[in-house]
């Protein structure tokens, strides 16, 4: 008995598990980031973030379970097996973003490729911790302490990765460079283990060379990640990209073809210089014609300054408060020559006050009243935007209006997204006495709709400003809908904060858009 104890003590002196604990931390950071990146890319490319995150998490966890189950059949050369797994995770995870973007551009089987990628990475990640624990069990005397440390470092790594990705990695590096960085970390972890525990590794020299070669390959891709991202991004857009910025909130891309400049947010077109005036004239001048006063105007969203440009055409406007969460967006549109010339420097006009804040929080906390509120948000294609189309939000908007004030909300397409459009209409009706839907044709968008709302008996006045599209003669046509744009609203639910039906409607309809 004493001989066995002495043997274990000697074994403990020879084996140092500290590097394994550090490795556990690193692989946990990488694995959670791979999961977040795959979910985010699928949401970015396919929409419906709830479904994409749910599928990714479910498949990933299940695949990890499969990996843990398979680990019981791995008995010999545990260090070699662990190094192989680390390298496999580094390669698959490191190239995951590149694979997904290329699959979206060049194939019609994106979903299948995504599922296979999730399952393979999940299986390999599921193998890592069981094999690590068996290495410790086989070589350490104080097994209980080291196993507890392994799981502690694993959980801490998950926390670090989940915080680092949205706050640091994604805003600074983007999808592709981040995955190459994580792949490099996985591969470096494997090399450190090779160097530290070479006496436990079969065919040490060959494995070391292979690992270094793989690391060099990933590092080359890491160093050229920005160039690769730019090249792939070019494949996502029809025209030449002249600007690309990743902000903490969204991806801003500007393209140009001849005289047509287009701005995209997260891949969705926001305006084209060829016809944006149609959209913004309808958005702004219809509510201004119904408003009894124009003194104070609130614009929620509209960080491009184009709605503000139209509002500034009214001489009786004394103040415009524009609330847009993304400072990089408003700074860009205030300072970029092409956009600022289009919005006629509206964001630098002394009448315009730009506030970079969450619009939901602004209307919730604001105590001042506005005569007109213009809501110009992107379509409700994710949960963050969906809350800006709920009955609770419109209740806050109503509280920000004067008694005879007017509100208008861009409401997606009544032709391509009928359920979504009339869901927004029905939701606004829960808060306002008079809700008037209207629409027009915007060539680059297609048929586009708006909802006008007020609580008093406001009457429409004459159009008193210069316009490119709107006339006294064609305004009436905006309020007429074709039979193929109407729907039985009794079959449509309102968009409640606690039951967000709108995002479900929108994600269903956008599939056929």
Write out the catalytic residue numbers.
376
Cβ-defined contacts of 379-382 (< 8 Å, 24+): 379/268, 379/412, 379/417, 379/420, 379/506, 380/412, 380/420, 380/502, 380/503, 380/506, 381/47, 381/48, 381/268, 381/503, 381/506, 381/507, 381/510, 382/43, 382/49, 382/503
Tokens read off for 153 = 């470092």
Distances (CA, A) of 148 to 21, 137, 196, 479: 10, 12, 22, 67
Distances (CA, A) of 90 to 84, 87, 93, 163: 10, 5, 5, 20
**CA–CA gap between residue 355 and residue 349 (Å, rounded):** 14
The SS3 call for residue 205 is helix
Do you know the residue count of the chain?
A: 513
- Residues with Cβ within 8 Å of 347's Cβ and at least 6 positions away in sequence, in order, are 305, 308, 322, 330, 333, 334, 340, 354
CB 480 within 8 A of CB 437: no
């Amino acid at each position: 008995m004493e001989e066995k104890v002495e043997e274990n003590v000697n074994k403990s002196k020879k084996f140092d598990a500290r590097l394994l604990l550090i490795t556990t931390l690193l692989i946990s950071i990488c694995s959670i980031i791979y999961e977040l990146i795959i979910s985010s890319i699928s949401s970015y490319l396919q929409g419906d973030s709830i479904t994409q995150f749910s599928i990714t998490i479910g498949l990933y966890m299940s695949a990890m379970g499969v990996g843990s189950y398979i680990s019981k059949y791995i008995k010999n050369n545990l260090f070699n097996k662990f190094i192989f797994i680390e390298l496999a995770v580094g390669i698959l995870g490191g190239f995951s973003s590149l694979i997904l973007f290329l699959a979206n551009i060049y194939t019609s089987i994106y979903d299948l490729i995504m599922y296979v990628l999730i399952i393979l990475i999940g299986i390999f990640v599921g193998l890592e911790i069981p094999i690590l624990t068996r290495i410790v069990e086989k070589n350490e005397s104080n097994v209980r302490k080291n196993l507890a440390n392994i799981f502690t470092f694993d959980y801490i790594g998950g926390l670090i990765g989940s915080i680092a990705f949205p706050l640091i990695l994604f805003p600074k590096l983007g999808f592709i460079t981040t995955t190459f960085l994580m792949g490099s970390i996985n591969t470096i972890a494997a090399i450190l283990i090779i160097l530290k525990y070479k006496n436990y590794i079969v065919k040490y020299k060959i494995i070391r060379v292979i690992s270094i070669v793989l690391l060099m390959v990933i590092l080359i891709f890491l160093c050229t990640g920005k160039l690769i991202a730019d090249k792939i991004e070019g494949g996502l857009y029809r025209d030449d990209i002249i600007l690309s910025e990743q902000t903490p909130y969204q991806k801003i891309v500007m393209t140009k073809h001849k005289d047509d400049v287009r701005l995209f947010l997260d891949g969705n077109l926001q305006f084209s210089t060829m016809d944006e005036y149609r959209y913004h004239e309808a958005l702004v001048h219809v509510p201004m014609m119904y408003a009894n006063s124009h003194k104070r105007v609130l614009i929620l969203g509209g960080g491009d300054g184009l709605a503000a440009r139209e509002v500034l055409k009214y001489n009786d406007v004394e103040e415009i408060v524009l609330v847009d969460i993304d400072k990089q967006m408003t700074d860009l549109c205030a300072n970029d020559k092409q956009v600022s010339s289009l919005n006629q420097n509206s964001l630098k006009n002394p009448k315009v006050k730009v506030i970079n804040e969450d619009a939901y929080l602004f209307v919730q906390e604001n105590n001042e009243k506005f005569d007109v509120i213009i809501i110009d948000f992107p379509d409700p294609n994710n949960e963050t935007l969906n809350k800006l189309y709920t009955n609770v939000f419109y209740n806050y908007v109503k509280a920000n209006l004067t008694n005879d004030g007017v509100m208008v909300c861009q409401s997606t397409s009544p032709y391509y997204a009928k359920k979504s459009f009339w869901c927004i209409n029905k939701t606004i009706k829960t808060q306002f006495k008079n809700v008037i839907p209207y629409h027009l044709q915007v060539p680059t968008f297609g048929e586009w709709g708006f909802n006008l709302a007020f609580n008093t008996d406001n009457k429409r006045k004459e159009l008193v400003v210069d316009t490119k599209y709107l006339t006294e003669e064609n305004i009436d046509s905006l309020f007429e809908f074709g039979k193929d744009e109407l729907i039985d609203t009794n079959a449509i639910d309102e968009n409640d904060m606690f039951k967000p039906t709108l995002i479900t409607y929108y994600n269903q309809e956008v599939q056929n858009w």
